[in-house]
Structure 1
Amino acid sequence: MNIAFIGFGGVGQALAKLLVEEKKKLEKLYSLQPVVVSVCDKKKGSVYHPEGLNIEKVLQVVNDTGNVENYPNTPGLIKGWDSMKTIKNSNADMIVEVTYTDVKTGQPAIDHCRTAFKQKKSVVTTNKGPVAIAYKELSDLAKKNDVFFGFEGTVMSGTPALRMPTVTLAGNDISEIKGILNGTTNFILTEMEQGHSYEDSLLKAQKLGYAEADPTSDVQGYDARYKAVILANYIMGGEIVTEDVTCMGITDLNEKMVQEALRKKKKWKLLARIKKENGNVIASVKPELLDENDPLASVTGATNAIMYDCDLAGPIFLSGAGAGLVETGYSLLIDIINYQWQYK
C-alpha cells in the first residue's frame, strides 16, 4: 500500500510514528506493509519518491528543521509538488488527508477528496468538514470509483463511534443517538461542578491545551454540531446540513446553575441528540440536565461518550478519548487496516 500524506501536522506525524512503531505488528497481524511515498504540507513543503521515503528520516527532518524539503536528495526524489499535483501524479493508493480545513466550507479537504476519488485513490481523513458538508457526494463518488473513504476520527477520535454501530451493532435499528461529543465543554462543566467559575474553568482548559485561544467552536456548540451531522447522515441515514441542527452552547451556564443542579442530584451536560421522528432524522446540540444516575452524567473531564438506543441490543454506551494526537492518529490507522481488509 502506497501512502501520500496531504498535511503533516501533529495528527499526520502521529500516524507516521505509529506506522514506524507498529510496523512488525501490522505486518504480522494484518499483512499490512504501508510505504509512504509522499509527504506534502502547505507550510512544511513536499517530497515524493515513487519507491518510498524513509519515514523515520522524514520525521527527524521535520523535527530538526521544520521543512520536509530538507530530506536528503536521492535519485528519483521530487520536491515542491503542491497537494493537487501530489494526489494526481504520485503513485499513492491511499491519500491521508489531514490538512487544516475550514469547517464552514470544508475546503481544501473536499477538493482533495474529490480529486483523489476521481483518480481512483482511497482517502482516510480526520477532517470533519468534508464529511459534515459533502458526505453524500463524496461517498457516492468513492463508490462509483470503487475506492475507500474512511473518516472514523471525525467524531470521537480513536474511539470507534462510527464503526461500532455500523459493524458491531449491525442488524439493529438505532432510534436515537445521544452523546457528549466535545471534551473541552465537558472539562469546563466538570470544573464548574467543583466550584470554579466558567471563566476560570475555560482559562484552565486553555492552559491544559483542551481549548483553543479562540474557544468559540467548542463553547458555542459548533464542533458538536458538525459531529451530530456526521452521525445523523452516516449512522441514521439522514440528509441534514449543519443549519438543520438546533445549536446552543454552554456560555449561558454559570457556577450557581451547576451547583444548584448538583443539589438536585442532576448534572448539566452539553448533549448532541440525533433521533428518528416521523420518518425524518432530526438533531440538536444544547445543554441538558441529566439525572446523576444517567451513564452520560458520570462522564467527567475531557472524555467523550455516546449512547445508541438499539431495538435488539438495547442501550449501548461507549466512552473514550475524543481528542489527542496519538488517539487521532490511531483513528487513521483503524481506517487503513479496514481498507486493507476490504480491498486487499
Structure 2
Amino acid sequence: MSVIKVAILGFGTVGEGFYRTIQSHSEELTAVLGRKVEVAAVLVKNKQKERNISKDVFITTEFTDILNLPQVDVVVEAIVDKDPTYSFLKQAIQRGCHIITANKEMFAHYGQELLELAKVHNVSVGYEATVAGGIPVIQTLRQLLNVNRVQQIHGILNGTSNFILTEMREKKLSFADALRAAQENGYAEADPTNDVEGFDAFYKAMILSRLAFGEDPNWHDVDRKGITSITSDLIDIALQFGLRFKHIASIKKKGNQLIASVKPVLVGKEHPLYHVEGVQNAVNIYSDIVGQITLQGPGAGMYPTASAVIEDLVYVCQNRRANQGFTSAIESCSIVEKSQEEETWLIKGLLNTLNEQPINVIDQVEEGIWIVKATSEEVAQLTKLNQELVCFPIIGEFESEHDLAKLVV
C-alpha cells in the first residue's frame, strides 16, 4: 500500500493535536483515502525541547531540510505570523505539495496568491482551520456556493472575547477580572490584543468574505472595534432589555459595495447568536435559497482545530481543486438596500450631544443611557461631536418597559 507523507510546520497546540489525531485515527484515514498517512517530518524552533514524537519522524529547525526529503505529499502549517510562513507554503506548492494552514493572519493577507499558485502547480489548499476552529464553515460555504447566493454572514469568531463577555455577565466580573480568568484558563495570551481588540476576528472575517462574496471590503473601511469599552454597568443595562453583548463579525452586500464590521453589538433572544456562550464560536449564514443556517461549536483548542486540519487532509488528498478556492466577484449576490437605513442603538452619552442632532430618541433608560433610532452615518456624526459617546447597535427583538421599540433585522 502506498503512503501519504506529511510534514508539520510547528508543534504547538494545533501541530501536536494534528499529530496525535493522525495516530489515533490512522485506520479511519486509511479507509477513507485508501492509503496510510505518515508524518515524515516536523519543523520546530528548538530541537532540544522534549516532545512526544516517534523516533521515526525527522525533526528539524530548517525548512529547506523538509523540502529536500525524498517524499513529502502534504505540508501542514501551524505556526503564527505572516512571515516566513507564506514563503514556506509558496515553496511547498512549487515543490508539488498540497498545503494546509491554520494561520488566519497569513491566509487573510496571502490566501488568494497561494490559491492561484496551487492551481498552476495542480495541488490543493486546505484552510478550514483558519476560521472558527472545529466548525466546518469553509466546507459549508463551498457547498452553498454551488447554487445558493450568500447574502449575509454574522459570526462570533473569537472564543476569547466571547468567554470574557460571558464571564462578565454571568459572574458579574469586571473586564479586567474576566480577562484574567481567560488567561488562567489558557484562552487568552499574555498579550490579548489580537483577541480583545478584534484583529483575530477581522482576519477570519476577511477570509469568509473572499470565499462567500469573491472579494474583500477595503480593509481600512471595516469598522473594527474590540470589547474593552464594555463595562459591567452596560451589561446590566442591556439585561434590562433582554439583550446580551456579543462580539460579532458581519459581512453583507449593500448595492455594489461590501459592508463589513467586527464590533460588539447587542442581540435579542430570538437572534441565533444569543445563546452562543463561553469559548464557543458560531457562524450564521443567510443565502437566497436555503435561507438562514447557523453552525456552532468549539472555536479553538487542540482537538477541535485538529479536527478541521484532519478533514482538510482528506480534502486535499482527494485533490478537489475545482471547488477549493474563493468564488469570483461576478458570482456574488448584490443586495439593494436603502443608503440611509435606520438601526436601533444603545448609546451612553450626554443629552446635550443628542439634542444637537436630529436623532429619534425612543427610550431613556437612565441618566445618560439612551435607546435611539439612527443611521450609522448619524451615529458616526454624534461620536465626532463627542468622542466619549459609546454606541452599540441592537440586532433582533428587544424588550422596552415602555413598549416603545421592537426591531427585527
2:236 partner SS: helix
Match of 2:133 among 157, 162, 165: 157
Q: Which residue pairs with 1:331 in the alignment?
A: 308
1:295 partner SS: coil
Q: Which residue pairs with 1:298 in the alignment?
A: 275
CA distance in 1, matches of 2:130, 2:276: 20
CA displacement 1:140-185 (0-9 Å, x = unmatched) = 0011111011010001111111111112563110011011001111
Larger radius of gyration: 2
Report the AA paired with residue 113 of structure 1.
Answer: L
Q: Quick check: 10-19 or 306-315, which moved more? A: 10-19
Q: Which residue pairs with 1:94 in the alignment?
A: 74
TM-score scaled by length of structure 1 = 0.86
CA displacement 1:41-89 (0-9 Å, x = unmatched) = 122379xxxxxxxxxxxxxx613xxxx7xx75x8xx9765611341354
Report the AA paired with residue 155 of structure 1.
Answer: V
Q: Give unmatched runs, 5+ long, in structure 1.
A: 47-60
CA gap of 1:242–1:7, structure 2 versus 1, over 3 A, is: farther
Q: Which residue pairs with 2:148 in the alignment?
A: 172
Cα displacement (A) at 1:34 = 1.0
- Tell me if the contact between 2:46 and 2:61 (Cα under 8 Å) persists in the aligned partners: no
1:138 partner SS: helix
Identical-pair percentage? 34
CA gap of 1:90–1:132, structure 2 versus 1, over 3 A, is: farther
1:107 partner SS: coil
- Tell me if the contact between 1:2 and 1:91 (Cα under 8 Å) persists in the aligned partners: yes
Q: Which residue pairs with 1:17 in the alignment?
A: 20
Report the AA paired with residue 176 of structure 1.
Answer: Q
CA gap of 1:80–1:44, structure 2 versus 1, over 3 A, is: closer
CA distance in 2, matches of 1:24, 1:86: 26
| Structure having the larger proportion of residues in helix | 1
Q: 1:1-344 to 2 correspondence within 5 Å?
A: 1-44=4-47, 62-63=51-52, 80=60, 82-99=62-79, 101-102=80-81, 106-167=82-143, 170-194=146-170, 195-240=172-217, 242-342=219-319
- Tell me if the contact between 2:44 and 2:60 (Cα under 8 Å) persists in the aligned partners: no
Q: CA RMSD in A?
A: 2.2
Report the AA paired with residue 283 of structure 1.
Answer: A
- Tell me if the contact between 2:43 and 2:59 (Cα under 8 Å) persists in the aligned partners: no
2:137 partner SS: coil
CA distance in 1, matches of 2:312, 2:61: 26
CA distance in 1, matches of 2:59, 2:51: 14
Q: Quick check: 256-265 or 275-284, which moved more? A: 275-284
Q: Quick check: 21-30 or 127-136, which moved more? A: 21-30
CA displacement 1:214-265 (0-9 Å, x = unmatched) = 1111111111111111111122211346434221000001001011101111
1:111 partner SS: helix
TM-score scaled by length of structure 2 = 0.73
CA distance in 2, matches of 1:161, 1:343: 17
CA gap of 1:44–1:240, structure 2 versus 1, over 3 A, is: farther
- Tell me if the contact between 1:271 and 1:286 (Cα under 8 Å) persists in the aligned partners: yes
CA distance in 1, matches of 2:131, 2:47: 27
Cα displacement (A) at 1:302 = 0.8
1:320 partner SS: strand
Cα displacement (A) at 1:275 = 1.0
Q: Which residue pairs with 1:51 in the alignment?
A: none
2:187 partner SS: coil
Q: Give unmatched runs, 5+ long, in structure 2.
A: 322-409
Cα displacement (A) at 1:110 = 0.6
1:250 partner SS: coil
CA distance in 2, matches of 1:179, 1:319: 10
Aligned residues: 317
CA distance in 2, matches of 1:314, 1:111: 40
Report the AA paired with residue 36 of structure 2.
Answer: Q
